[in-house]
Structure 1
């Protein structure tokens, strides 16, 4: 069976990574990996027209809010592309949930005026708690929402820290808490040819504590 025909998102990802590993990461193997990954992404998006319309409408609204701002529309366009290319992670669902909408909105805060306010860190935490509770209450947890949550955290908090945090130690800690785990998991997946479990921060782990620290410092800073 071709990778594009696999319905299980994890199985398809493992098959793609194994393809890359068998090819020893040569330019030809990388090109084949990208072509097959793109083919599957397009097919999965075509099978979920409702989700495609929802994501396009949401990002259209966000693009309007991001007009004449930096990073602005470019950030929103990247978010749209990543979302559309990963619709296969919705598994059996053909639409995104309300929780997914909140997650994507959180990840795009840096592109809007809300991202530059003193309250942006507190707002991101509130959206994070709300989308998690909503997903559990409505039983709409999917790999799409799970991974979108991780990348929304990494994108927003890394941006907020590098853009507004003057303390070098706090900035280094932010990179360690959010960007480093994603880079590590990606490297492990490529090296071993299988998708590892993503880091799962909880209230007792460093990423959650860093959110509180960065948000409070940003709120109290003049």
Structure 2
């Protein structure tokens, strides 16, 4: 049975990981792994033209709202990742409203809204809304599950690195999202099969960090000021020194 004939993305991923493990992770095996995964992703996207059109429409709006070229690159990267993972929609052929909210949340850093000091509250509200909608409309899919997690990781890691002045909190926020992903990837490659996702209780530290960083950002009086700007570079201090104060 070819990868295109496998009934689910989980089965296809496990088959690819088994192939990689059996070939002892050699460079040539990795090339075959990536090639086969790309072919399946393109095939799955072609089977869901409506979802592809919806993803493109959402990202087109976000591209217009992007604040600069870096924001545009962020949106285009998001679109590429979405298109390559449409197979995770499984039996569905279109995006759900909850999926669209997750995509918006993950792209907040690309827009001017992301720089607002209350954007953390917007991200939390969107997170709660997409989960509620997915359960209420019974549109829960692996795509929505992973899109939700990646949107959280993208937005909160960006916010912590760019605006959080506490080095301890920055490191903790990045680790809260990257360590579980790295651990799951390592286990999947070593076992030749994807492990189950962490239980929700294991993600509570990350949720607590989200609330803390969001509130600290909200309380900051001058959100546009960079926490890493040296004091000597501030105009007021330079002027004072010139006048001998």
The interval holding the TM-score normalised by the smaller chain is over 0.9
Query: Deviation string for 1:155-202 (max 9, x for gaps)?
Result: 110000001001011011101211211111111111211111223445
Query: Deviation string for 1:108-154 (max 9, x for gaps)?
Result: 00000011000111100000000000000000000000011111111
Aligned to 1:185: 184
Q: 1:168 to 1:183 in 2, by over 3 A?
A: same
Structure 1 or 2, whichever has the larger Rg, is: 2
Q: Give the structure-1-normalised TM-score.
A: 0.96
Q: 1:19 to 1:204 in 2, by over 3 A?
A: closer
Query: Deviation string for 1:60-94 (max 9, x for gaps)?
Result: 1101100425x301111111011000011000000
Q: In structure 1, how many angstroms separate the alpha carbons of the residues matched to 2:43 and 2:121? A: 38
Q: In structure 1, how many angstroms separate the alpha carbons of the residues matched to 2:60 and 2:23? A: 39
Contiguous gaps of at least 5 residues in structure 1: none
Q: Give the structure-2-normalised TM-score.
A: 0.87
Q: In structure 2, how many angstroms separate the alpha carbons of the residues matched to 1:140 and 1:131? A: 10
Contiguous gaps of at least 5 residues in structure 2: 222-245
Aligned to 1:157: 156
Query: Deviation string for 1:25-73 (max 9, x for gaps)?
Result: 111100100110001001100000000000011101101100425x301
Q: Aligned pair count?
A: 221
CA contact (8 A) 1:48 1:95 kept: yes
Which deviates further from its counterpart, 7-16 or 45-54?
7-16
Which deviates further from its counterpart, 204-213 or 116-125?
204-213
CA contact (8 A) 2:23 2:29 kept: yes
CA contact (8 A) 1:158 1:179 kept: no
Q: Which aligned pairs between 1:81-120 and structure 2 lie closer than 5 A? A: 81-120=80-119
Q: Where in structure 1 do 4 or more consecutive aligned residues deviate above 6 Å?
A: none
Aligned to 2:9: 9
Aligned to 2:208: 209
Q: Which aligned pairs between 1:138-153 and structure 2 lie closer than 5 A? A: 138-153=137-152
Q: In structure 2, how many angstroms separate the alpha carbons of the residues matched to 1:17 and 1:189? A: 7
